[in-house]
């Protein structure tokens, strides 16, 4: 059916702008991977709306079992590209876990995650949470409200376990950020101990996203940080309460990326640009006219071949609201951002933030210069490819000139302190100064030796 649709399009509409900009592709048949999360939406939309076909691409989308399988698939060539955790291309390129040069020409979204705790933990946190005049909890909720609960469990000799999706995931770093901002130690990594639990008050471990609710319900973990729809699923099942969104931790924070190997990009430059064009069009569609297409996007994502969760659950966050407790539905129009605020542009400063968090928690064991952070970011994030694709879209009448940061040097303006839960701003041009400003975490010459911080 998809092939027939493309043939009809290529014959009946050969003079359309999309066809007029067709590139001479090095590779036309592609297999792209994804994890069942709502932020894979640009891939699903590019497929369902025919944007890949407009570029002459025959794409197969394949759900992957977990993030490691997905990364391995891109490295060994079974996948031509994939919806990735932003930390994956960076970690692979610097050799943390797996050594492979992965790049990204396209950032997939901003925000989109939450931290959920079980009903039991929420009832213990609640007395420490300020209330609004109507009796509902006042947001954002600080991890300081969790600290007395963790201390009580520690006194009872019970490890306080929480889940995140992968060691180099945004979810790991956001959960750690929230905990540290509330005075809790989330633990460190070292070359000898990759558990990430050295010196921890809260023990974080990996759980695949779709398994988060059931793992919490079984009591294996007391809470988790994950993307949608798995926070809202806990609300619908009546087993947990999302206490904070990542939008409240860091307003308009970067999330997933589209990752390909550097070798693929080098061998298939036109195909890479064509892929990027299709994904930019999908992102525009997802956000245009004040999210007017989100209901249709929810219907697409609810299908079993994509996210496979109930449409009502997906719609809870994708359509501009978020439900914290049963009935406590609040307006969060920017919970999922796919194109606004230059969401799709691969900023070096976004990459550098991930690298600072790897250094902060010991995944980058030794101190690095500011130049190292910047050069590493520039080797992975490729705004040059992105802007080439954007230029073709604008020239073809499929995007607006004003929607792209043509003159950017790759760095966002510094994040103001008011946009971050701990009141500490972020400037990607000064990564070591940023690390020094964070009260908890490695900085300067500090390293982990055994179970202690050296220097």
What is the model's pLDDT at position 22? 86
Element (H, E) at 260: strand 257-261
Pairing outcome for strands 161-164 and 203-206 = parallel
Tokens representing 191 are 């070359």
| Residue 122, C-beta contacts closer than 8 angstroms, at least 6 positions apart | 240, 241, 243
pLDDT band at 21 (very low <50, low <70, confident <90, very high): low
| Residue 77, C-beta contacts closer than 8 angstroms, at least 6 positions apart | 261
Alpha-carbon gap, residue 230 to 187, rounded angstroms: 24
Give the fold, CATH level 3, of 2-111+254-403.
D-Maltodextrin-Binding Protein; domain 2 (3.40.190)
Which CA distances in Å does 125 have to 33, 94, 243, 343? 38, 39, 10, 34
Which among 311, 310, 309 has a CA at the least distance from the CA of 297? 311
What is the model's pLDDT at position 319? 94
Q: Would the pLDDT of 8 be above 50?
A: no
Which CA distances in Å does 208 have to 97, 174, 205, 244? 18, 16, 10, 20
Which among 455, 446, 430 has a CA at the least distance from the CA of 355? 430
Q: Residue 303's CB: how many other CB atoms inside 10 A?
A: 12
Start and end residues for every CATH 3.40.190.10 domain found in the chain: 2-111+254-403, 113-251
**Mean pLDDT for the stretch of residues 94-110:** 97
DSSP state of 160: -
Q: Residue 344's CB: how many other CB atoms inside 10 A?
A: 30
Q: What is the pLDDT of residues 410-455, one digit of tens each?
A: 999 999 999 999 999 999 999 999 999 999 999 999 999 998 999 9
**Mean pLDDT for the stretch of residues 1-20:** 38
Alpha-carbon gap, residue 253 to 86, rounded angstroms: 11
Q: Would the pLDDT of 5 be above 90?
A: no
For 113-251, CATH number out of 3.40.190.10, 3.20.20.70, 1.10.260.40, 3.30.420.40 equals 3.40.190.10
What's the pTM? 0.94
């Amino acid at each position: 059916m998809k092939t027939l649709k493309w043939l009809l399009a290529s014959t009946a509409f050969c003079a359309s702008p999309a066809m007029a900009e067709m590139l001479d592709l090095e590779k036309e048949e592609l297999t792209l991977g994804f994890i069942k999360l709502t932020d894979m939406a640009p891939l699903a939309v590019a497929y369902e709306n025919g944007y890949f076909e407009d570029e002459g691409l025959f794409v197969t989308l394949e759900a992957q079992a977990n993030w490691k399988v997905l990364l391995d698939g891109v490295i060994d060539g079974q996948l031509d590209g994939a919806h990735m955790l932003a930390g994956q291309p960076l970690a692979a390129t610097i050799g943390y876990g797996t050594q492979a040069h992965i790049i990204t020409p396209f950032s997939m979204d901003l925000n989109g995650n939450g931290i959920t705790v079980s009903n039991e933990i929420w009832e213990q946190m609640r007395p420490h949470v300020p209330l609004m005049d109507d009796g509902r909890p006042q947001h954002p909720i600080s991890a300081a409200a969790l600290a007395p609960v963790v201390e009580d469990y520690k006194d009872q000799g019970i490890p306080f376990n929480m889940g995140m999706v992968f060691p180099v995931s945004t979810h790991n770093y956001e959960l750690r950020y929230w905990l540290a901002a509330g005075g809790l130690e989330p633990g460190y990594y070292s070359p000898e101990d990759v558990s990430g639990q050295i010196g921890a008050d809260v023990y974080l471990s990996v759980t695949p996203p779709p398994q988060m609710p059931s793992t919490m319900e079984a009591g294996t973990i007391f809470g988790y940080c994950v993307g949608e729809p798995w926070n809202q699923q806990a609300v619908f099942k009546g087993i947990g309460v999302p206490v904070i969104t990542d939008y409240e931790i860091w307003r308009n924070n970067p999330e997933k990326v589209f990752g390909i190997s550097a070798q693929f990009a080098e061998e298939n430059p036109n195909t890479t640009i064509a892929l990027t064009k299709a994904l930019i069009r999908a992102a525009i569609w997802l956000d245009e006219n004040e999210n007017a297409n989100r209901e249709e996007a929810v219907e697409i994502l609810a299908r079993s071949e994509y996210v496979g969760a109930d449409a009502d659950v997906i719609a809870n966050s994708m359509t501009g609201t978020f439900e914290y407790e049963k009935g406590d539905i609040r307006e969060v129009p920017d919970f999922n951002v796919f194109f606004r605020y230059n969401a799709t542009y691969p900023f070096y400063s976004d990459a550098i933030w991930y690298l600072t968090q790897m250094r902060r928690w010991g995944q980058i064991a030794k101190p690095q210069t500011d130049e190292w952070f910047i050069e590493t970011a520039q080797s992975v994030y490729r705004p040059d490819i992105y802007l080439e694709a954007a230029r073709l879209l604008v020239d073809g009448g499929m995007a607006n000139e004003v929607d792209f940061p043509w003159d950017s040097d790759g760095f966002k303006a510094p994040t103001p302190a008011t946009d971050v839960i701990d009141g500490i701003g972020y400037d990607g041009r000064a990564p070591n100064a940023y690390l020094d400003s964070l009260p908890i975490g490695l900085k300067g010459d500090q390293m982990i030796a055994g179970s202690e911080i050296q220097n």
